[in-house]
């Protein structure tokens, strides 16, 4: 909270908004938290932000949203946080602060299936959350564990079901090419997608980047020179 709000004139916020009117929304991105306590070995967040999870206060966050609405007529916020909903009580407090503000906005965010509840998703929907994006990565528990993505299939199915019940659109982030990937494990991903029925899917290829354990392992094995 001690940090000032971003200088959006410097990043030409108005130009960004104009270029992103295709869906009829005036969108701005912001961050409410930094750091992610999870250790997924395909993700550089822990290198960039560390695993120390720190949060701005809900009042401070809503203050920035108000500034975006007043200065740029923004009506939709995309939260760029790696995992917005790690702290359950803080998430409910943020929802309460958005409601108290009377702001007429919609918003979207990233989360992880292990850190949401049905009540939380309903609360988020009531104060304008339209979309939630979950990192699923693989339908195979073996592949998820190899990537140190320690979420259960049950938590994935539950999170998507609760989100759909609450009226939220969903996105499943999926990775192909994790350690030990095969046609059989890709088939498991296809089967899980059919079960959770996300509104959208983002497929990416597993890419080892410097600073990650997977990168160091790939160098040792001669996969990366």
Helical segments of 73-211, H only: 88-101, 118-126, 141-146, 153-166, 183-196
pLDDT in tens, 120-147: 999 999 999 999 999 999 999 999 999 9
Q: At 21, is the pLDDT very low, low, confident or very high (cuts 50, 70, 90)?
A: confident
pLDDT in tens, 78-110: 999 999 999 999 999 999 999 999 999 999 999
CA distance 42 to 144: 10
Cα 145 off chain centre by: 20
Judged against a pLDDT cut of 80, whether residue 214 lies above it is answered with no
């Amino acid at each position: 909270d001690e940090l000032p709000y971003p200088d959006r004139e410097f990043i030409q916020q108005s130009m960004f908004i104009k270029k992103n009117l295709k869906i009829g929304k005036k969108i701005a991105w912001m961050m409410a938290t930094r750091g992610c306590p999870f250790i997924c070995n395909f993700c550089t967040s822990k290198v960039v932000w560390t695993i120390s999870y720190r949060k701005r206060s809900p009042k401070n966050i809503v203050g920035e949203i108000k500034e975006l609405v007043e200065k740029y007529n923004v009506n939709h916020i995309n939260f760029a946080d790696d995992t917005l909903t790690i702290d359950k009580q803080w998430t409910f407090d943020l929802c309460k602060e958005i409601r108290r503000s009377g702001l007429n906005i919609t918003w979207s965010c990233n989360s992880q299936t292990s850190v949401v509840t049905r009540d939380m998703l309903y609360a988020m929907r009531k104060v304008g959350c339209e979309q939630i994006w979950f990192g699923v990565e693989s339908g195979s528990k073996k592949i998820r564990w190899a990537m140190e993505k320690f979420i259960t299939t049950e938590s994935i199915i539950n999170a998507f079901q609760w989100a759909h019940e609450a009226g939220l659109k969903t996105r499943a982030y999926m990775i192909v090419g994790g350690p030990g990937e095969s046609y059989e494990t890709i088939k498991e991903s296809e089967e899980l997608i059919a079960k959770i029925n996300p509104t959208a899917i983002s497929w990416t290829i597993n890419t080892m980047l410097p600073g990650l354990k997977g990168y160091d392992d790939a160098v040792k094995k001669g996969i990366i020179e």
